[in-house]
């Protein structure tokens, strides 16, 4: 088996099979729409491929699309004028973002960078607004999504200020398994240690130490090319090893 085929066997080839239409029709909000509206949204939306390190969106730009992750891993961050970067959160396959800026009609307030080659879906503002005006289930979904994201950011602010590095890594990984933000059930995520380091804002060497601690605590299992979560609640509540 060559290297490419081996990689596909590890991750299940999910990203290779997933299409923009799959993402839209399989999403929580998509499943609440009529077939006619689904066909229309799918036809109006389009896919964009972004290389590793490329920008999906830039701070200060006008926001003209609601964005979903067909396949890949993104980092949402802000930067100060002197170049200091602070990571807000990661976005993995199945996630959607940008609804807040669309609702407020403001320029984007953060950068979104691909940590690996990624494919994103872009739903035009006009389509997004039409759904808001005509679909009660879509509005309920937006309300739930924004509330979930608010809870995520409050939690991240708490653990960034109060917790040690091991706990920060634990909470960072746990956010990628949020049922509210990523409704597809899963235990494994294709996530490299360098990617975890970039999402958590710590060194790769320190992430390696934290992952060993979390694995020894029975919360996750480090795989050759990813992480399998064994105890999600334990990961969310991890505060560090006593002593």
Instruction: From 85, 22, 91, select the one nearest 59 (Cα to Cα).
Output: 85
What's residue 209's pLDDT?
Answer: 94
Q: For residue 29, what are the CA distances in angstroms to 68, 165, 181, 228, 243?
A: 12, 36, 12, 27, 46
Question: Residue range 152-159: average pLDDT?
Answer: 71
Q: Cα-Cα-Cα-Cα dihedral of 184, 187, 191, 195, to 10°?
A: 80
Question: Residue range 62-76: average pLDDT?
Answer: 94
Question: Residue range 57-65: average pLDDT?
Answer: 94
Query: CATH code at 103?
Result: 2.60.120.10
d(CA 148, CA 157): 14
What's residue 5's pLDDT?
Answer: 31
Whether 164 has a pLDDT exceeding 50, the answer reads yes
Q: Which residue has the higher pLDDT, 139 or 7?
A: 139
243 belongs to a structural domain: yes
Where is average pLDDT lowest: 38-42, 78-82, 173-177? 78-82
d(CA 6, CA 22): 24
Whether 9 has a pLDDT exceeding 60, the answer reads no
Q: Which element (helix H / strand E) includes 74?
A: strand 73-79
Query: CATH code at 183?
Result: 1.10.10.10
Return the structure tokens found at 39: 């066909």
**Mean pLDDT estimate for the chain:** 85
| Runs of H (alpha helix) within the chain | 3-11, 14-17, 20-26, 28-31, 35-44, 99-104, 125-134, 136-162, 165-175, 193-200, 204-216, 232-237
Residues 5 and 100 in one domain: yes
Q: How many domains does the chain have?
A: 2
Return the structure tokens found at 160: 């960034």
What's residue 10's pLDDT?
Answer: 31
List the domain range (segments joined by +) for residue 108: 1-129
Residues 210 and 108 in one domain: no
Residues 115 and 177 in one domain: no
Residues 68 and 7 in one domain: yes
Q: What is residue 33's three-state secondary structure? A: coil
pTM of the complete model beyond 0.85 = no
What is the percentage of the chain residues whose pLDDT exceeds 90? 51
96 belongs to a structural domain: yes
Digit-coded pLDDT (tens) for 195-211? 888 888 889 999 999 99
């Amino acid at each position: 088996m060559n290297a490419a085929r081996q990689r596909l066997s590890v991750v299940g080839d999910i990203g290779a099979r997933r299409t923009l239409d799959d993402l839209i029709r399989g999403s929580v909000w998509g499943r609440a729409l009529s077939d006619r509206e689904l066909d229309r949204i799918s036809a109006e939306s389009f896919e964009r491929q972004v290389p590793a390190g490329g920008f999906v969106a830039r701070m200060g730009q006008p926001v003209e699309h609601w964005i979903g992750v067909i396949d890949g891993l993104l980092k949402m961050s802000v930067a100060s004028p002197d170049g200091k970067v602070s990571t807000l959160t990661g976005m993995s396959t199945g996630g959607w973002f940008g609804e807040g800026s669309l609702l407020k009609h403001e320029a984007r307030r953060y950068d979104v960078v691909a940590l690996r080659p990624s494919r994103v879906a872009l739903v035009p503002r006009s389509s997004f607004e039409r759904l808001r005006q005509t679909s009660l289930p879509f509005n309920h979904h937006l309300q739930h999504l924004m509330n979930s994201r608010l809870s995520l950011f409050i939690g991240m602010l708490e653990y960034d200020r109060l917790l040690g590095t091991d706990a920060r890594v634990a909470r960072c990984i746990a956010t990628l398994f949020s049922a509210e933000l990523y409704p597809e059930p899963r235990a494994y995520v294709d996530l490299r240690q360098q990617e975890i380091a970039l999402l958590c804002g710590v060194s790769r060497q320190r992430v390696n130490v934290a992952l060993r601690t979390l694995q020894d605590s029975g919360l996750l299992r480090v795989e050759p090319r990813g992480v399998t979560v064994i105890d999600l609640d334990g990961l969310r509540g991890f505060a560090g090893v006593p002593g």
